[in-house]
Amino acid sequence: MSTLLNIGRRVGRHLLASLPALFGVVLFTFLLMRVLPGDPAAFFASGPNAGQAEMAQIRETMGLDRPIPEQFLRYVGDLARGNLGQSMTTGQPVMADLAERMPASLELTLFALVLALALALPLGIVAALRPNSLIDHGVRFLCTLGVCVPTFVTGLLLIYVFYYLLGLAPDPTGRIDIFAAPPPGITGFLLVDFLLVGDLAGWKAAFGQLILPACTMALFVLAPLARMTRASLLAVLGSDFIRTARSVGMSDWRVVVVYALRNALLPVLTIIGIVFSTMLGANVLVEKVFSWPGIGSYALDALLASDYAPVQGFVLLIAVIFVMVNLTIDVLYGIVDPRISLK
């Protein structure tokens, strides 16, 4: 009970502390979008020779004829009611657009994160167990390489090898083959939905589309995860309680996995949080390469069309997710290491 209370208190305190930053994000995004070049009224007018009256009409419906502070207050009011404005290019509310595209981005990011962890944790552990061995240097080399190749180059080279040369991967555009029937939207995650309706062929097709972009992202974030695992495990392995555990004759497996790893996970958790938020923001590039219908490509298209509202919505959404991820990590800290919540 007291643990739950403690967690609740931590969540509350963290949420409060992040409010000013969130407000700053709202204000900053708003100002940034207002100085974007190009008059959206002119952009959405019927044609280049649209009359002044029509332009004024559009400005009025968009609220662009009001003073900036008033526009900001209206914007905040709309936000409070969950209204992110209207996208001019798709003609839909931004909230609906984002909600529709969010699963695509989340599925890709989560899958890539799991993939990266599945690779990085064992690699980091092995490297820490044999420091300065051949395998340690190999892992270090792989990590160094991983951060040096830009995601858009990795993605394109993967397409070349697996689509053009080997023919293993499907046409690298979108989440699903254009001729395939999409599953009913239960969770929005194609892999989960196909499993729920028991469509194995569909699942395989969706997996085929997902694996290349996910690998691209995973390779890029492999380095921070593996290196942090190695460093923190190495530090723990040198401590007294590990020496004691070894000296009483525990098996290596038990010492490393149960004793050392659990204590080494804390810094890794921090990095996972950072990596996840970075991925959500940076998958604009990957989504562009693979024509992935996620929120990143949505925001990019809107930005290039000087459509304010979707970009604002996107940036805000990512910032909120960022805060949420930090909060989750903070709560997880308390579970992984009870000493922290005692403070």
Partner 1 sequence: MSATLRHAGWVLRGNPVTAGAAAGALMLVTIAILAPWITPYDPIASNVPAALQPPSAAHWAGTDQLGRDIFSRLIAATRLDLGIAVSAVLLSFVAGATIGALCGYAGGRIDRYVGRLVDVLMAFPLFVLAMALVAALGNRVENIVIATALINLPFYIRFARAEVNVRRHAGWVEAARAGGESHVTIVLAYLLPNILPAMAVQISLNLGWAILNAAGLSFLGLGVQAPTPEWGIMVAEGARFIGNGQWWLVAFPGLALMLAVLCFNLLGDGLRDILDPRMRT
Residues 6+ apart with CB under 8 A from 151: 216, 217, 220, 282, 285, 286, 289
Alpha helices in 238-260 (DSSP H): 240-247, 252-253
Contact 93, 311 (CB under 8 A): no
Is residue 101 close enough to count as binding partner 1 by CB under 8 A?
no
Site mask, partner 1, residues 290-319, x = CB under 8 A? ---------xx--xx-x----x--xx--xx
CA 114-219-277 angle, 5° bins: 60
Answer whether 110's CB lies under 8 Å from 192's CB: no
Binding of partner 1 by 157 (CB under 8 A):
yes
CB of 185 to partner 1, least distance (A): 26
- Residue 202 or residue 273: which is nearer to partner 1 going by CB? 273
Contact at 8 Å (CB) between 159 and 216?
no
Q: Which of 14, 110, 142, 152 binds partner 1 (CB under 8 A)?
A: 152
Could you say whether residue 163 binds partner 1 (CB under 8 A)?
A: yes
Q: Of 8-16, 23-31, 62-70, 175-183, which segment contacts partner 1 by CB under 8 A?
A: 23-31
Q: Is 281 in the site for partner 1 (CB under 8 A)?
A: yes
How many chain residues interact with partner 1 (CB under 8 A)? 55
Backbone angles phi, psi at 150, to 5 degrees: -65, 145
The token duo for 20 is 């000013």
x/- track of binding to partner 1 for residues 219-258 (CB under 8 A): --------xx-xx---------------------------
147 interacts with partner 1 by CB under 8 A:
yes
Is 282 an interacting residue with respect to partner 1 (CB under 8 A)? yes
Q: CA separation (Å) from 6 to 2, 80, 262, 273?
A: 6, 29, 21, 21
Instruction: Establish if 32 lies at the interface with partner 1 (CB under 8 A).
Output: yes
**273/276 Cα distance (integer angstroms):** 5
Rounded Cα distance between 245 and 254, Å, is 9
Among 5, 21, 99, 324, binds partner 1 (CB under 8 A): 21
Residues 6+ apart with CB under 8 A from 26: 75, 76, 79, 316
327 binds partner 1 (CB under 8 A): no
Interaction site with partner 1 (CB under 8 A): 18, 20-22, 24-25, 28-29, 32-33, 35-37, 144-145, 147-153, 156-157, 159-160, 163-165, 172, 227-228, 230-231, 277-278, 280-282, 284-285, 288-289, 299-300, 303-304, 306, 311, 314-315, 318-319, 322-323
